[in-house]
């Protein structure tokens, strides 16, 4: 099974992010992520997990993150990610947010003792995937800056999710929730 740990996105914020991202539809065909699937991944765990291993991870997640207090993270922009030339997704971006980095580090510390949890290979770049481009834009559109939009992600919990692959598309099922202090 494929597992990851993420911060869920509230419905109201998700709708606001979709609205802010609509200008991209004029230059680039997009396949939107279902609203209920929106999340900010803090640690991708990958494929091949057994139910017993998933339960061990769930036990750790349920213990929560007592070293971190709940906080809000401002969404800075919407842009193609990781870049405009080879976009994997259209995403809401957070920039170099120290609190989100601390959350990533704490989740890693919480889970690193579980067999099969490997050190992340890539640098943590916090984002919420909103849509998948169909093709590449001839000219990448400019980022939609959101500094004045006052859009904030409440970070009160992390969730261990399982990816369920279905004919109609992937759905993410929560297996365990852990609160921040």
| pLDDT number for residue 167 | 86
| pLDDT band at residue 61 using 50, 70 and 90 as cut-offs | very high
Active site residues: 39, 127
| pLDDT number for residue 128 | 98
Question: Mind listing the pLDDT tens digit for each residue in 120-146?
Answer: 888 999 999 999 988 766 666 677 787
Taking residues 23-29, report their average pLDDT.
81
Beta bridge partners of 129: 91
Mean pLDDT, the chain, rounded, equals 91
Question: Mind listing the pLDDT tens digit for each residue in 7-19?
Answer: 999 999 999 999 9
Determine contact, residues 74/127, Cβ cutoff 8 Å: no
Give the Cβ contact number of residue 5 at 10 Å: 26
* CA gap 97, 111 in Å, rounded: 22
| pLDDT number for residue 139 | 66
Domain count, the chain: 1
Please indicate, yes or no, whether the overall pTM of this predicted structure exceeds 0.75.
yes
Question: Mind listing the pLDDT tens digit for each residue in 138-179?
Answer: 666 677 787 677 899 999 999 999 999 988 888 999 999 999
Phi, psi torsion values for 101, nearest 5 degrees? -65, -45
- Distances, alpha carbon 12 to alpha carbons 16, 25, 35, in Å: 6, 21, 10
- Distances, alpha carbon 16 to alpha carbons 13, 72, 151, in Å: 5, 16, 8
| pLDDT number for residue 41 | 97
Q: Which domain holds residue 42?
A: 2-179
CATH number for the domain harbouring residue 9: 3.90.1140.10
* CA gap 56, 77 in Å, rounded: 36
| pLDDT number for residue 154 | 98
Angle at the Cα of 93 (from 154 to 46), degrees rounded to 5?
85
Question: With 90 as the cut, is the pLDDT of residue 84 above it?
Answer: no
| pLDDT number for residue 137 | 65
């Amino acid at each position: 099974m494929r597992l990851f740990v993420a911060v869920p996105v509230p419905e109201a914020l998700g709708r606001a992010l979709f609205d802010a991202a609509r200008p991209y539809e004029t230059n680039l065909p997009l396949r939107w992520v279902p609203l209920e699937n929106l999340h900010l991944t803090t640690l991708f765990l990958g494929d091949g997990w057994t139910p017993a291993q998933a339960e061990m991870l769930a036990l750790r997640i349920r213990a929560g993150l007592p070293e971190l207090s709940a906080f809000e993270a401002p969404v800075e922009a919407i842009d193609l990610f990781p870049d405009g030339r080879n976009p994997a997704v259209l995403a809401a971006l957070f920039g170099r947010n120290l609190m989100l980095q601390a959350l990533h580090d704490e989740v890693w510390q919480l889970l690193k003792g579980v067999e099969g949890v490997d050190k992340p290979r890539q640098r943590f770049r916090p984002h919420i995937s909103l849509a998948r481009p169909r093709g590449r834009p001839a000219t990448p559109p400019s980022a939609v800056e959101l500094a004045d939009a006052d859009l904030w992600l409440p970070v009160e919990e992390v969730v261990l999710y399982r990816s369920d692959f279905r004919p109609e598309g992937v759905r993410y099922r929560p297996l365990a929730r852990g609160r921040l202090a």
